[in-house]
Amino acid sequence: MKFSISSAILIAAASNVVTAAPAAEANPTYGHYQPIVYNPYASHRGSFPFVFTSSVAIVATGAQVVNNVSVSTPGPKEAVGYFNYGINSHTNTICFNITLINVKGAYKSPAKTATHIHNGLKGKAGPPRIALPNPVGDDKKRVSVGCLVGPFTTGIKGADGKDTGTGFNVRSIELDPKSYFTDSHTEFFTAGVVRGQFK
């Protein structure tokens, strides 16, 4: 996994999580939400969740989107998503700083949210493993920041009848990052408005 984002960016994101996250996140149904206020002078500096075992920055575009049978289904050319993740695999924690640019329309997905991390290779579809809070804003810019701690649920049932987030640990992303992608879905682009692959 490429370490192309500094922990400082994710620390800044988490420090703003109380005001930036949607009100619904106070009682999440898709994971354990961690509101964090960062104090750089505290004696516990460097402790949870600001010690990341890996971090990554992903640029998601409409051109990378495929539908649920892995057929190319591009989103809008002008849309782009910046998905910054910090992972602590020891505590099964993922922190996120997500910005969507030029994404129009309401979110739409059969999952609990419309912003996800999926298990799937480049150009292939795959089930969501983590449902993230949808970025908030307008058609020009939307933002979501914070941290989630497993166990995770997505609201989607797999072939085994279990939620596709059941038993998922973020360590799996670190072990095989190329097998995961992140995306967001809207009413106009239900297959995905933007998508980006982990590397």
Residue 146 near residue 18 (C-beta atoms within 8 A): no
Exposure class string for 5-21: b at 16+ Cβ within 10 A, else e: beeebbbebbbbbeebb
Summarize pLDDT for 85-140 with one digit per residue, the tens: 999 999 999 999 999 999 999 999 999 999 999 999 999 999 999 999 999 999 99
Tell me how far apart the alpha carbons of residues 72 and 142 are, in angstroms, rounded to a whole number: 25
This model's pTM is above 0.85: no
Lowest-confidence region among 36-45, 62-71, 90-99, 160-169: 36-45
Nearest one of 83, 192, 189, 61 to 142, comparing CA atoms: 83
Using DSSP's 3-state secondary structure scheme, residue 20 falls into helix
Distance of CA 76 to the CA centre of its chain: 20
Collect contacts of 47-51 with beta carbons under 8 A, ≥24 apart: 48/88, 48/91, 48/93, 49/14, 49/86, 49/88, 49/91, 49/93, 49/95, 49/147, 49/149, 50/7, 50/10, 50/11, 50/14, 51/88
Summarize pLDDT for 132-185 with one digit per residue, the tens: 999 999 999 999 999 999 999 999 999 999 999 999 999 999 999 999 999 999
pLDDT value for 178: 97
Q: Which amino acid is at 135?
A: P
Using DSSP's 3-state secondary structure scheme, residue 65 falls into coil
